[in-house]
Structure 1
Amino acid sequence: MNVLAAGDVSPGLLGFVVVAFLGFALYFLVKSMNKQMSKIQVPHEGDVDDKKAE
């Protein structure tokens, strides 16, 4: 086992795995968000004005 000096920092394999997992989770969350956002139907400005006139 390596003994590190007082100022040395080494996250090692666990740090890499945690960062990689967060990256994959963020990727899938953004992908899911884009899918949900594409389902939203926003009315056009002209459609809203026509309904108010009625």
Structure 2
Amino acid sequence: MSPGLLGFVVVALIAFALYLLIKSMNKQMSKIKVPREGDTPSEDAKNDEKAR
């Protein structure tokens, strides 16, 4: 006996839920700000400011 229509509907719903979760994850990941090397002052610059 094959799963039939009910099996297809369950798999389709799981696939749709996975799609929504991935879409939400991508939105949340795009909000994260990753500091780059040029964005933050280097340790040498911090030490120079403290020496003044």
Q: TM-score, normalised on structure 1?
A: 0.71
| 2:6 maps to 1:14 | yes
TM-superposition CA deviations, 1:15-35 (whole Å, max 9, x none)? 101100011001000000000
Deviating runs (4+, > 4 A) in structure 1?
none
Q: List alignment gaps of at least 5 residues for structure 1.
A: 1-8
Counting matched residue pairs gives: 45
- Counterpart for residue 49 of structure 2: none
- Counterpart for residue 46 of structure 1: 38
